[in-house]
A and B are shown apart, each in its own frame.
Chain A
Amino acid sequence: MVELNATLIAQIINFLLLAYILKKFVFGKVLQAMSDRQARIAGSIESADRERAAAEELKREYQEQLAQARTQAQTIVEKATKLAEQAKDDIIKEARAEHARLMKEAQEEIARERERAVAELRNEVVSLSIAAAGKIIGQNLDANANAKLVSDFINNLDGQKIGGVQ
């Protein structure tokens, strides 16, 4: 059942023949293909790393620019707000001044009108008084003397009775 014979030598030769054939026709090709693939994968990984680094650099740049833009926008808004405040203050101040000037003018106008009205009224009263007095006493007095007389009389009246003209 267990006999050693020349088969032993034949098997060694068979095996070495197989090893030779495989080494010559198969292993070289396979190893070449495997190392090619390895190189290709390494290249792919390397280029992917490179591209990722570039993308990260780009992202960092964009973020920087964005931050810069944000700062600028804030500055612009602040400046605009300040300008608007300024403009508002100016407008309000101007409006107040205008208001005060108009008030003053109006008061002056009123005072002037009143004075004129009082003067007119006084003259009217003097004329009427003289006419009335002439009719009453039936004689024509010297007109100038009469006017003087009535005017003095009115001036002596209490100022309040004709509207308190100063």
Chain B
Amino acid sequence: MGHGGHEIGSHKVAHFFGFAFNMDTLYMTWMVMAIVIVLAILAVRRLETVPRGMQNAFEMAIEAIGGQVDATIGPNSRKVAPLLITLFVFLLTSNWLGLVPGFTSPTNDLNTTLGLALMIIGFVHVLGVGHHGLSHFKHFIQPHPLFLPINIIEEIARPITLSFRLFGNIMAGEILIILIAALPLYYGEPLVGVLWLGFSVIVGLIQAFIFTMLSTSYLSNSLKEEHH
């Protein structure tokens, strides 16, 4: 991409032990982690019976996501609820961080979204085998062995769709923010920019929620009592 200013989609790559790392994505991720941890610790520093402020917001997130997870997965939801709640909080903070001038979303890097999606799929199979043994893999030949190719494609499609949906939305949102700022609009520009920022806030929330809920639904098959 271009030189100077904001470079969309290009990353500062550093090499350690022969591996390439996108340092800007990692910095932003650590920032997100720091924000989440600081807010969470602030929220629970003085837990009160009648919640206020941060505690209230945090409990709302936990209850909203935890309730969905409970409803989708059922009695075994306690095993994965912390993971999924963390996923939601992490994604939400990541998506919104990119809306702050000078910062970018860790989720505008496919490495982040695909990594998380593959991690979820990995959990699906690890938990499935842990819960149902090898019969977990039976769902590849259901309802009939002829469905094996379709089921394999579905299995591959899951992480790809999961990661590209989030990546695409956040990436496009950030590109548009920069493009609107660069547009030669004399009167409408602040209005359009503000409108798009507001829209991006909602997009960030919705995409974080969608990613979390789809992960929940993938995980639910591995944890349900009767396995298909």
User: Which A residues are closer than 8 A to B by beta carbons?
Assistant: 1-12, 14-19, 21-23, 25-27, 29-34, 36-37, 40
Contacts and interface: CB of A to CB of B under 8 A. Distances in A.
Contacts of A8: 111-112, 114-115, 118
Given A12-B118, A18-B90, A19-B86, A7 B22 contact: yes
Contacts of A29: 44, 47
A15 B119 contact: yes
A38 to B, nearest CB: 11
B116 A11 contact: yes
Contacts of B59: 30, 33-34
From A9, A18, A23, name the one whose CB has the most chain B CB atoms within 10 angstroms.
A18
Contacts of A5: 13, 19-22, 111
Interface on chain B toward A: helix, strand, loop, or mixed SS? Answer: helix
Nearest to B164: A2
Contacts of A3: 11
Contact of A11 (B20, B36, B87, B111): B111
Contact of A18 (B11, B22, B33, B110): B33
A135 to B, nearest CB: 139
Given A12-B116, A18-B37, 13 more contacts: A1-B1, A6-B21, A7-B109, A7-B115, A11-B109, A15-B119, A18-B33, A18-B36, A18-B90, A19-B86, A23-B86, A25-B41, A25-B44
A14 B1 CA distance: 27
A4 B111 contact: yes
Chain B contact patch, size range? 35 or more
| Majority secondary structure, A binding face | helix
Contacts of B118: 8, 12
Interface in B1-32: 1, 8-11, 13, 19-22, 25-26, 29-30
Contact of A30 (B8, B25, B29, B43): B43
A9 B119 CA distance: 9
Give the 5 A-B residue pairs with the shortest CB-CB distance, closest first. Answer: A6-B19, A7-B111, A1-B9, A5-B20, A11-B115
A2 B49 contact: no
A113 B148 CA distance: 148
11 contacts: A6-B19, A7-B21, A8-B112, A15-B86, A23-B83, A26-B41, A29-B44, A30-B58, A30-B59, A34-B59, A34-B62
Interface string B115-140: 11011000000000000000000000
A100 B118 CA distance: 126
A76 to B, nearest CB: 57
A23 B29 CA distance: 18
A23 to B, nearest CB: 4
B98 interface: no
